[in-house]
Structure 1
């Protein structure tokens, strides 16, 4: 039995605004990152590019209805699936930067030098499982091959949810300890509490989206979630677009605008090592 790409006719009217809005939000993020030199937001930018191109591919598929071709389908399937994993990588780095900027590593449940490494490693594992499963599913010519891809995607989503859940718990514990330890708040104008709340908000948006994706793949190709296009826009596209816009409006650069240039520079160096390997140590 041949694998059917869509169980509905993709909507041009929905794909156009989301492709445009993701592109606009991502362009703003690129400008903000260059302006503030917040290179730890690079994965977030790549995730935004994935989302914009993914919805552009859905638009192409919509224009091909009912004779869909493989490549636009593969593009939208993989890129929309993987974008949030890249968002998560920058969010993990943001918590590490907040802790280091406040010089509050002693009250963090996980040492700052390990925090980003642990969570980004989990994120990479999730990314690889989802991309492998998504590629297998997108190229599937039989229902059995598609189900195997779905199982890999589910594994990647479960890894993402596990690490994100632990990350949220770590953030909450750190927040409570900061409130109970006034000495770490003395002499700083860093709006750490505000940005921890923003971090919670975007984390929960990604968590809800991931839970939706788990339910979608558990149901399978013939389930209601994969048979009605409205769900992907309400429980994936809209939530991820809100993530992008929230961090446009409350950009993380403001978290590290305090009077700690060495801590900021050292934190940025460590973040870049996570993104691109060892690059030498100039501090």
Structure 2
């Protein structure tokens, strides 16, 4: 029977992690990893590799969490699950940010972007990398009473960076859509380019990641003795379920058609009569 053990007198866990719950999610994220890897391979949408790696990070994290059921006093399972589950959404975010740039280019709407398209992806991905590094650096500080507060502070700082970047990203997407609605481009009328579906997908997955990030901020601000860190169900509801939902939504609204659609439409735009431009 599993018992709660300490590591050098410090309890890494506030409960015995459920091997069954971790087993369910490691299986789900294993399927997600395989499904997204297949999508990238068949569609050649290389910018989605970051998302696929994020799925794999989730899988590794829940593998470590499952193994921790009988090893609550062991350091490595705790660090591995903490690191990989914490930073995986930053990898999801990288592909999400890159998708917006492709949506804008696919319908020739660069002039409607709040941020210059050539800088759009670079700006958000750089912020995402910063969030990843700050959160990742906290993993080695969460196993000692003397450093845990520093580690929690780093996690909160990294999550705040992620929240701010997602907020600016959402504003950029909304302003872009508003401007496009007022002044549509000829390509935006094409049925070959699923830009509306892709944009709605971005809103959905961004909202899920934002809610998850806010939850994790509150979790760490409440501290080691807080309710959220002391009860496992909160992690599975507000992190695990939401991040798996992100992988499902992204899969069924995969942005691989954007570039190919733009290629087909760019040839058709040449043939659009001048009268059409006047109506637009």
TM-score in terms of structure 2 length? 0.88
Runs of 4+ in 1 over 6 A off after TM superposition: none
Residues 60-139 of structure 1 aligned to structure 2 (within 5 Å): 60-64=67-71, 67-137=72-142
Identify the residue that residue 33 of structure 2 maps to in structure 1: 26
Where relative contact order (Cα < 8 A, 6+ residues apart) is larger, the structure is: 1
CA distance in 1, matches of 2:84, 2:136: 9
C-alpha contact (below 8 Å) 1:8/1:228 kept by paired residues: yes
Worse-matched range after superposition: 230-239 or 4-13: 4-13
Deviation at 1:188, TM superposition (A): 5.7
Any unmatched runs of 5+ in structure 2? 1-7, 267-280
Residues 146-165 of structure 1 show CA distances to partners (whole Å, capped at 9, x for unaligned) of 11111011111111100110
Residues 4-61 of structure 1 show CA distances to partners (whole Å, capped at 9, x for unaligned) of 1110111111111100000101101000001000000011111110000100101000
Which of 223, 227, 237 is the aligned partner of 1:224?
Answer: 227
Deviation at 1:68, TM superposition (A): 3.0
Larger radius of gyration: 2
In the alignment, does 2:223 pair up with 1:204? no
Q: Secondary structure at the match of 1:174?
A: helix
C-alpha contact (below 8 Å) 2:29/2:59 kept by paired residues: yes
Any unmatched runs of 5+ in structure 1? 264-283
Residues 110-166 of structure 1 show CA distances to partners (whole Å, capped at 9, x for unaligned) of 1110000000000011111101112222xx32x230111110111111111001100
Measured on the aligned residues, the alpha-carbon RMSD in Å equals 1.6
Identify the residue that residue 239 of structure 1 maps to in structure 2: 242
- Name the count of aligned residue pairs: 258
C-alpha contact (below 8 Å) 1:3/1:146 kept by paired residues: no
C-alpha contact (below 8 Å) 1:205/1:239 kept by paired residues: yes
CA distance in 2, matches of 1:34, 1:248: 13
Identify the residue that residue 12 of structure 1 maps to in structure 2: 19
Residues 32-51 of structure 1 aligned to structure 2 (within 5 Å): 32-51=39-58
